[in-house]
Amino acid sequence: MFEPSAPAALQVLPLPRAEIAYAPGFLPPEQADGLFDALKRTVPWQQPELFIHGRHVLTPRLCCWMGDPGAVYRYSNTRFQPEPWTAAVLALKSTVEAASGAVFNSVLLNFYRDGRDAMGWHSDDEPELGPQPVIASVSLGGVRRFLLRPASGGKSSGIALAHGSLLLMRGDTQNHYRHSLPRTAKPVDGRINLTFRKIRAPKHPV
């Protein structure tokens, strides 16, 4: 199991109708470095094709959906079957669960190879996540700016997610906010992000 360098102090971000906390030094630098290198080499990265606004597009980043058997995830009209847990990701899951007080059965890994790779505005509000999901996000590698804005519209606010950091979103955050990781023209190292989730079994299995 990975050991946080502190216990990591979670800083509450003051956004109305949201529960968001951030720990910039959740993993010690040497562990974060080793984990980044291991994931880059061993994760079965894919670049899925999604159906968005009536057309097929390649995801602008590399991805891997990993989790317990049956933790099926649906996104943009695409159904993702989980890859088996790797030892490194399973160990990190245990550490994140201890810090968050939540239990997870799946994780979405995204590899942003450079500043051209990005994530558009969205909420993690798929039905299988439940009405108030807990999303635990670990960032490794290059520092990228994570943006949040009200789902009803308005000004966005941002935070630079540090190497080895943990961001927790829970409560009504996904109901009231959207988030994104925009492209940047600035030189930036590759970044791997892991968002741990709990997929609920469907009421009517497909």
C-alpha pair distances (Å), 69 with each of 14, 85, 106: 37, 10, 9
The predicted pLDDT at position 205 comes to 47
pTM: predicted TM-score of the whole model, two decimal places: 0.92
- In the chain, pLDDT over 90 holds for what percent of residues? 79
Domain residue limits, the chain = 11-45+56-197
The predicted pLDDT at position 1 comes to 64
Q: Residue 176 is inside which H or E element, if any? A: helix 173-176
Is there a contact between 75 and 123 (Cβ–Cβ < 8 Å)? no
pLDDT at residue 203 tops 60: no
Secondary structure, 3-state, 1-30: CCCCCCCCCCEECCCCCCEEEEECCCCCHH
pLDDT at residue 91 tops 70: yes
DSSP state string for 69-91: TT--EEETTEEEPPBPPPHHHHH
What's 129's DSSP letter?
Answer: G
- HSE toward the beta carbon, residue 38, CA cutoff 13 A: 12
The pLDDT confidence band at residue 76, using thresholds 50, 70 and 90, is low
Beta-strand pair 62-67/177-181: unpaired
The CATH architecture of the domain made up of 11-45+56-197 is: Sandwich (2.60)
The angle at the Cα of 100, spanning 176 to 148, to the nearest 5 degrees, equals 30
| Spatial CA neighbour of 137 closest among 172, 181, 176 | 181
Is there a contact between 22 and 159 (Cβ–Cβ < 8 Å)? yes
